[in-house]
Structure 1
């Protein structure tokens, strides 16, 4: 297990004047939720997520050596157009990772990024975006230090991504990623995510995630504010204990193929996340009427058909419908017939488990 000091380079053996790289990184959907964090993006509890396949950010990073190395120098493009509103977030990210990437001030960067999913669709674009940027920066560091191992490359990429957006550390690897110190995961760390280190049962191979876009508006509360509400929350300690217990239980379900147990934990985790928001001070109600209607219809459909379909939620109104590939046709028919009408502009996205970041 690597410490923070292990990510501070002692020096570089090579140099680079200019080059460009292109990486994609996917979003992810947490099964056991991380909610609440300590300083420096350290999670208050461990989490585990499915890495998505289709919902991803594609980022091209060009860089050129410069003489003036006072401050950071970069241009930002989103889908080919200048995007100055992203600047403060990237500036803050560079400040956080400066000690671990001491070359940052030596270059001028052009960061050109695009998403494969609709803007403001409620998909975690900060996770995919920060992970894709971290992969590109690690490609540059690898030019300066060609002897870097693949294991170190991916762990440091996840470490850097976390400093941009906590859940981004789970978007580097696939297809199931654990993040946060936990006794059942010997290599687990609060500093970076790790690929699920055990054999996953065939029941969960190529699992499907259909994302129902109930509300595409601006987030009611930012993730940073939401996590902060766990400080002093009356149920915080019980929640953190519950997350540790649920992570042990879902690990067992993923290994044994127990879909019933998987469903029970995943849905409980989704509702607990929203319960914590509804009982914080100030409180936030992030579900919409159609969110609840969709959940009730999924529960009724599962009871009637015995199809192993379940829901999960992020900190918003949209619903992720999770199900095995073996029932894909039946579930998609149900979604089209009963749930799509409850989505904003009838919009939904079909996705599945993916393999993590990819170099172009």
Structure 2
């Protein structure tokens, strides 16, 4: 198990003038939610997520060493161009600048190169899927490929754990999009190797019931949230229920260890839905308070509960910090649940839009 200090390199064995890498990284959906963070993107409580397969970001990173005669004021700055779907994306550059500032201690070569970052998503723009997780994970993988070229002796374990740490410094949940089908992030006494610094593949057995689990994402509202996740996390600092919430997350994560092993879908549903509603309860009871769910979010939840009660099919919902609904269900129930979605839930989606996804393995080099 590595600590953050292990990821600060002393020197590199190789030099490289120019080149490019390309990686894809998926989004993920938390089952036990992280809400509230400490300094330096450290989570206030642990979380666990399903890695998605289809909703991902594809990022190409081209790099070229700066000319030795470059003026000092240029040499001492980060230098990069950013493109989204082939077009310059100036409004996102401050976030990349801040990311580079945070990770420079771990990647001291950053100011030696000019980078061209070209990125695109496989899911529709503004579809309400958290693209910061997939985007920062994909960029972190590319930067780690460059570091591995400078230090070929690097182990795979070091490569992926450092990539997860870097991704976390860009967007907390991005550390869960690097490697593994089920990923835990945050110190948890009963999860071996767990860390606040990076996500790890869930280290214990997972029952067949959860293999190839399905996630259909119902796009209730594609507009910009009135309160950003960053602001929402900050509101946990003086929240009257924060400490009890953090303890609850630890308790639910412990319960999931046994649930994953035994394949108990009824208990899985209780925890996942409770976690989703607790997340939104924290928003509704912060100061200032706010509501991100929409009327159609509640309609979908009630319709899922009615369908599950009538059919005994183990379908459930979870929510991120927004109005959209993730419908989770075993692969064996795919046909009947998709028919239910078409028959009863599509009318609650903006323009009838929904995305079909399933558990994936994490980032891939292309």
Cα deviation for residue 220 of structure 1 reads 1.8
Write the distance in 2 (CA, Å) between the matches of 1:247 and 1:132.
27
Q: After the TM superposition, which residues 226-305 of structure 1 pair with which residues of structure 2 at under 5 Å, given as runs?
A: 226-305=232-311
**1:216-260, Cα deviation, whole Å (9 max, x unpaired):** 001221111010000010000000000000000112111110011
Cα deviation for residue 2 of structure 1 reads 1.2
Equivalent residue number for residue 319 of structure 1: 325
SS in 1 for 2:26: strand
Which consecutive residues of structure 2, in runs of 5 or more, have no partner in the other structure? none
SS in 2 for 1:27: strand
Where does structure 1 differ by over 2 angstroms across 4 or more consecutive aligned residues?
Answer: none
Equivalent residue number for residue 359 of structure 2: 353
Q: Aligned Cα RMSD in Å?
A: 0.5
**1:270-295, Cα deviation, whole Å (9 max, x unpaired):** 00000000000001101000000000
Equivalent residue number for residue 72 of structure 1: 78
C-alpha contact 2:192 2:203 (8 A) present in aligned 1: no
Equivalent residue number for residue 26 of structure 2: 26
Equivalent residue number for residue 81 of structure 1: 87
Write the distance in 2 (CA, Å) between the matches of 1:247 and 1:185.
9
TM-score (norm. length: structure 1): 0.99
SS in 2 for 1:119: coil
Match of 1:191 among 185, 197, 203: 197
Alignment size in residue pairs: 360
Match of 1:153 among 139, 156, 159: 159
Equivalent residue number for residue 63 of structure 2: 63
SS in 2 for 1:293: helix
Match of 1:168 among 174, 186, 191: 174
**1:16-70, Cα deviation, whole Å (9 max, x unpaired):** 0001000000000000000000000000000000000000000000000003421
Cα deviation for residue 171 of structure 1 reads 0.3
The answer to whether structure 1 residue 113 and structure 2 residue 119 are counterparts is yes
Write the distance in 2 (CA, Å) between the matches of 1:321 and 1:184.
28
Equivalent residue number for residue 50 of structure 2: 50
Cα deviation for residue 174 of structure 1 reads 2.0
The answer to whether structure 1 residue 94 and structure 2 residue 92 are counterparts is no
Write the distance in 1 (CA, Å) between the matches of 2:42 and 2:298.
32
The answer to whether structure 1 residue 38 and structure 2 residue 44 are counterparts is no
Write the distance in 2 (CA, Å) between the matches of 1:258 and 1:337.
28
Equivalent residue number for residue 218 of structure 1: 224
Which has the larger displacement, 120-129 or 269-278?
120-129
Cα deviation for residue 199 of structure 1 reads 1.4
The answer to whether structure 1 residue 337 and structure 2 residue 343 are counterparts is yes
Which consecutive residues of structure 1, in runs of 5 or more, have no partner in the other structure? none
Q: After the TM superposition, which residues 10-21 of structure 1 pair with which residues of structure 2 at under 5 Å, given as runs?
A: 10-21=10-21
Cα deviation for residue 3 of structure 1 reads 1.2
Cα deviation for residue 185 of structure 1 reads 0.7
C-alpha contact 2:4 2:197 (8 A) present in aligned 1: yes
Write the distance in 1 (CA, Å) between the matches of 2:329 and 2:49.
15
Write the distance in 2 (CA, Å) between the matches of 1:107 and 1:249.
47
